[in-house]
């Protein structure tokens, strides 16, 4: 036992002497000292980048610029007061929905990303624009949730257009423009689309209070109601003042790339808006569908959105994997070269 103790002490002493001697030799060579110091700095920088810088850069981007197209069918069954009635047999119309999503210049901040969406519904036959709309969304750049004010054109909650980093395979709250409130998006599975892994979500509801369609009032006279419905036999007096409500129905699927939370596309969308008159004291309840719209995103749009999502994943891998690993590898190499190259004990 005493022999082992003495031997261990000698080993420790010799090892320490060799380490001290090597350090003296490294210090005596300017090139080795520079390489050794640079190696230590790069190793520390790799840790600082991975734990400090990369998470700070993991935010909703402000260089979004996507052009989306949808093919759909629009059926206009009732027009607002003052416009020519549709008639008894409204014909379905093939339409193209065009949407451009982009970050307007100097509207975003370090905490909030402002996304502008310019959309138009276009008659597919003659390219006539049936309607146009401009909307502004404000998104928390860390959580990807909608925020009130901060450049948005209306108060929204939940998610819309962009989704959280590492999107969970679970139900999500999403903002719905038709009803003006948050709806539940149900997780429905996984799917690979154009080389990108995506999560599939479904939204479905019926007979919910909807925003007033453009041109339609909250009250109508009996005469107006008969006119827009082309139904003079409707059991209301022409002079009656009727309260009108609007109800929405919606079902659709959308796909999200979960790593960066990018929306890939929307498909199998079916929506309708109904006009509802219910004055039980004097008249029977009455409901009429105003419009129905069915649409799905085009293959070209899905490809473009998938390519954008792929690029965003590549950016995250660069920030969280390739840069810190590269810095660490270079640091270790410099450290070893500085410690051993040309050093003779």
For residue 24, being part of any structural domain is answered with no
39 pLDDT band, cuts 50/70/90, is confident
Average pLDDT over residues 190-213: 96
Chain mean pLDDT for the chain: 89
Is 15 domain-assigned? no
For 223, residues 6+ apart whose C-beta sits below 8 A from its C-beta are 238, 239
The verdict on residue 40 lying in a domain is: no
Q: How far apart are CA 151 and CA 141, in angstroms?
A: 14
Domain tally, the chain: 1
Residue 321: CB atoms within 10 Å: 12
pLDDT recorded at residue 337: 85
- Single pTM value for the model: 0.85
The pLDDT assigned to 272 comes to 97
Residue 93 lies in a domain: yes
The pLDDT of residue 118: 98
pLDDT for the residue 86: 84
At 37, list the tokens. 């110091």
The Cα angle at residue 300 between residues 297 and 303, in degrees rounded to 5: 95
Q: What share of the chain is helix, strand, coil (3-state, %, to 5)?
A: 30, 40, 30
Residue 34 resides in a domain: no
pLDDT of residue 120 exceeding 90, the answer is: yes
Residue 12 lies in a domain: no
Q: Is residue 47 part of a domain?
A: no
Spatial CA neighbour of 135 closest among 102, 162, 157: 102
Quickly state the pLDDT bin for 22 (edges 50, 70, 90). Answer: low
Residue 325 lies in a domain: no
Q: Which domain holds residue 145?
A: 58-318
The Cβ-side half-sphere exposure at 143, using a 13 Å CA radius, reads 10
The β-bridge partners of 123 are 95
Torsion angle, CA of 99/101/106/109, rounded to 10 degrees?
Answer: 140
């Amino acid at each position: 036992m005493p022999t082992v103790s003495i031997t261990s002490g000698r080993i420790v002493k010799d090892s320490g002497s060799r380490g001290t001697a090597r350090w003296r030799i490294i210090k005596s060579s300017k090139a080795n000292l520079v390489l050794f110091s640079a190696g230590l700095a790069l190793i520390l920088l790799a840790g600082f980048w991975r734990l400090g810088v990369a998470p700070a850069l993991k935010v909703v981007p402000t260089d979004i610029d996507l052009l989306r197209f949808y093919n759909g069918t629009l059926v206009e069954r009732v027009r607002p007061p003052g416009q020519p009635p549709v008639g008894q047999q409204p014909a379905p119309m093939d339409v193209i929905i065009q949407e451009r999503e982009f970050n307007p210049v100097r509207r975003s901040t370090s905490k909030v990303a402002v996304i502008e969406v310019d959309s138009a519904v276009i008659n597919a036959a003659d390219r006539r624009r049936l309607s146009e709309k401009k909307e502004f969304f404000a998104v928390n750049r860390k959580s990807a949730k909608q925020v009130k004010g901060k450049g948005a054109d209306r108060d929204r909650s939940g998610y819309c257009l962009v989704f959280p980093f590492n999107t969970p395979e679970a139900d999500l709250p999403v903002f719905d423009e038709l009803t003006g409130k948050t709806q539940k998006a149900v997780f429905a599975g996984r799917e690979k689309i154009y080389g990108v892994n995506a999560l599939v979500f479904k939204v479905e509801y019926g007979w919910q209070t909807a925003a007033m369609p453009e041109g339609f009032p909250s009250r109508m006279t009996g005469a107006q109601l008969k006119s827009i419905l082309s139904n003079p036999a409707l059991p209301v007096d022409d002079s009656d003042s009727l309260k009108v409500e609007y109800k929405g129905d919606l079902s659709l699927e959308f796909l999200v790339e979960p790593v960066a939370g990018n929306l890939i596309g929307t498909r199998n969308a079916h929506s309708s808006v109904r006009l509802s008159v219910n004055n039980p004291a004097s008249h029977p309840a009455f409901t009429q569908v105003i419009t129905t719209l069915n649409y799905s995103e085009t293959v070209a749009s899905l490809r473009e959105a998938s390519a954008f999502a792929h690029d965003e994943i590549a950016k995250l891998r660069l920030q969280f994997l390739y840069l810190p690993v590269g810095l660490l590898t270079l640091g270790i190499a410099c450290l070893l070269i500085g410690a051993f190259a040309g050093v003779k004990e």
